[in-house]
Chain A
Amino acid sequence: ETGVTQTPRHLVMGMTNKKSLKCEQHLGHNAMYWYKQSAKKPLELMFVYNFKEQTENNSVPSRFSPECPNSSHLFLHLHTLQPEDSALYLCASSQEIVYTFGSGTRLTVV
């Protein structure tokens, strides 16, 4: 149990589908993050939320849409994805400088 729970663990979706990734933390952290992890590439920070407010969007395509309804939950809505979007999507939360990561969602776009 890492304290950050991500669902689903695995997701296969077609390019015309709409799906959502969910992240939940009950650590009392005030910041939450979405990262993309692809093989042979560095971790890519996608979005940052502080106290439910989006504070960073690293030029992420609009087919990825984040939502943070409260400080414990974070969603990543997906639509019309491309095969190159296949990756491990990691959610993290932090209080000050220490990050806690979820186990990730392995996304395959077919």
Chain B
Amino acid sequence: AQSVTQLGSHVSVSEGALVLLRCNYSSSVPPYLFWYVQYPNQGLQLLLKYTSAATLVKGINGFEAEFKKSETSFHLTKPSAHMSDAAEYFCAVSPNAGNNRKLIWGLGTSLAVNP
């Protein structure tokens, strides 16, 4: 069975500071891993995904994430926060096996960026 844990439901950073949003997963099979972002009053938008290729994945808007199998982690980072990064961020896992493409979602982390 798969599960996702996002540590910290709220993260606050200053503009220009490092953004680090944590995601740990459990999976009995090799996983696909995703980060989605949700801006206010919008749906979810794919930021980046890991599909068993390079462990360091680059996404849109300057975000990247690193798959660390030994730590079962897929933390999201951005070197310098921008005001426009304020949003809700969701980590998700899907089994990299079979035809099941159902996503298991974390509870989300709300990112606030202070001027």
Contact = CB atoms under 8 A, between A and B. Distances in A.
Interface of A: 2, 4, 6, 31, 41-43, 45, 48, 56, 90, 92, 94, 96-104, 106
A101 B105 contact: no
Contacts of A90: 43-44
Interface string B74-112: 000000000000000010001000000111011110000
Contacts, number: 45
A42 B106 contact: yes
B101 A42 contact: no
Interface in B15-64: 32, 36, 41-46, 49, 51
Nearest to B39: A103
A98 B44 CA distance: 12
Interface of B: 32, 36, 41-46, 49, 51, 90, 94, 101-103, 105-108
Nearest to B9: A40
Contacts of B46: 98-100
Given A98-B49, A101-B45, A45 B102 contact: yes
Nearest to A103: B43
B105 A97 contact: no
Nearest to B103: A99
Contacts of A31: 101
19 contacts: A2-B43, A2-B45, A4-B43, A6-B43, A31-B101, A42-B105, A42-B108, A48-B102, A94-B101, A96-B101, A97-B32, A97-B49, A99-B36, A99-B44, A99-B46, A99-B103, A101-B44, A103-B42, A104-B42
B101 A43 contact: no
A102 B44 CA distance: 8
Nearest to B96: A97
